[in-house]
Amino acid sequence: MEKLIIGSHVSFNKEDGLFGTVKEALSYGENTFMFYTGAPQNTIRGKIDEAKTNKAKELMKENNIDINDVIIHAPYIVNLANNNDEDKYAFAINFLKQELKRAESLGIKKVVLHPGSHVGLGIETGLHNIITGLNAVLEEEEGPIICLETMAGKGTELGKNFEEIKTILDNVKNNNRLLVCLDTCHLNDAGYDVKNFDNLLEKFDKIIGLDKIGCIHINDSKNEKGAHKDRHENIGFGTIGFENIIKIIYNEKLKGVPKILETPYVSISGGKDRTYAPYKQEIEMIKENKFNPNLLDDIRNYYKKS
């Protein structure tokens, strides 16, 4: 049996570079991971430290992490769908070009991108802007791949259904450099029935093709199907539920696809104090294939001790 490729969102800081991200992923028992090359909400990015990158690659090798499964997430403020502000639009294109260069210098093949929000321009114009933008970003025939993430359809978000993603894929010239990132919370919130994932994959296959799935974000959702909210929940504690998520993670058709958790951090008091990553305990639960109703308390106790 092919092994499960599972990881989570981890942090990348200037001091430790990629080496720090690998260490964090390993501390959660992961064999892949995803990170932002800086803060997710801004576009300030430092230089890539080659020595730390090489150390990170060694550590990955020692621990059987295949760098082809590692993902970068582009900052979510980059918006290719709206070109009202020409400078901003040009900045977004240029930033993504640089982001792909950063990925390349780290040896990473996949960069997840939110397609964008049209912010009043309308769906058609928004999609057109995304296509124009991606054609500029993916000017070269070869290079890292952009995985377009399926979105919840919050506000004017595009990529909320397979048809919109398909339109983008069909109209970008170098679409050999495009794949799709399915996000279980987003699919649910967009109105797809993720509780019947085989059926959903069949739809996806008909419209886009299963070979286009580049990665999967595994999240439970705080909201009902079709709520267009996009609020992630810890595995088994939301409206999708543990059993349904397990069926997605272990789905035969998704073998070999990296699965990334982006579930919320947990605070010790349950209030607004410091929060801690839930991933170690969630991944243990997933590997044991048995729901742990005390998961959140287990996380709190684990961090209280350390």
Enumerate binding residues for Fe ion (CB under 5 A): 149, 183, 217
Strands (E), 126-272: 145-149, 157-158, 178-183, 213-218, 220-221, 232-233, 259-261, 266-267
Closest separation in Å from C-beta 302 to Zn ion: 25
* 189 contact choice in Fe ion, Zn ion, none (CB below 5 to 8 Å, kind-dependent): none
* 128 contact choice in Zn ion, Fe ion, none (CB below 5 to 8 Å, kind-dependent): none
Structure tokens belonging to residue 185: 């919370």
Closest separation in Å from C-beta 1 to Zn ion: 30
Q: Which range touches Zn ion (CB under 5 A), out of 133-141, 170-178, 224-232, 286-294?
A: 224-232
Which of 143, 112, 110, 106 shows the shortest CA–CA distance to 20?
A: 106
Closest separation in Å from C-beta 59 to Fe ion: 26
Q: Which range touches Zn ion (CB under 5 A), out of 63-71, 169-177, 225-233, 292-300?
A: 225-233
Q: Is 14 helix (H, G, I), strand (E, B) or coil?
A: coil
Note whether 189 binds Zn ion by CB under 5 A: no
Q: Is 111 helix (H, G, I), strand (E, B) or coil?
A: strand
Q: Are 85 and 77 in contact (CB under 8 A)?
A: no
Helix axes 162-171, 123-137, angle to 10 degrees: 40
Name which of 69 and 230 has its Cβ closer to Zn ion. Answer: 230
Q: Are 131 and 168 in contact (CB under 8 A)?
A: yes
Residues 6+ apart with CB under 8 A from 269: none
Closest separation in Å from C-beta 219 to Fe ion: 7
Query: What type of residue sits at position 67?
Result: I
Note whether 220 binds Zn ion by CB under 5 A: no
Note whether 230 binds Zn ion by CB under 5 A: yes
Name which of 11 and 53 has its Cβ closer to Fe ion. Answer: 11
* 230 contact choice in Fe ion, Zn ion, none (CB below 5 to 8 Å, kind-dependent): Zn ion
Identify the sign of the CA torsion 58, 60, 65, 68.
negative
* 217 contact choice in Zn ion, Fe ion, none (CB below 5 to 8 Å, kind-dependent): Fe ion
Name which of 128 and 160 has its Cβ closer to Zn ion. Answer: 160
Beta bridge partners of 111: 72, 146
Closest separation in Å from C-beta 217 to Fe ion: 4
What gap in Å lies between CA 98 and CA 96, rounded to an integer? 5
Closest separation in Å from C-beta 185 to Fe ion: 7
Q: Which range touches Zn ion (CB under 5 A), out of 9-17, 114-122, 191-199, 226-234?
A: 226-234
Task: Tally DSSP H helices, then E strands, for the chain.
Answer: 10, 14
| Size of site (CB under 5 A) for Zn ion | 1
Contact residues for Zn ion, defined by CB under 5 A: 230
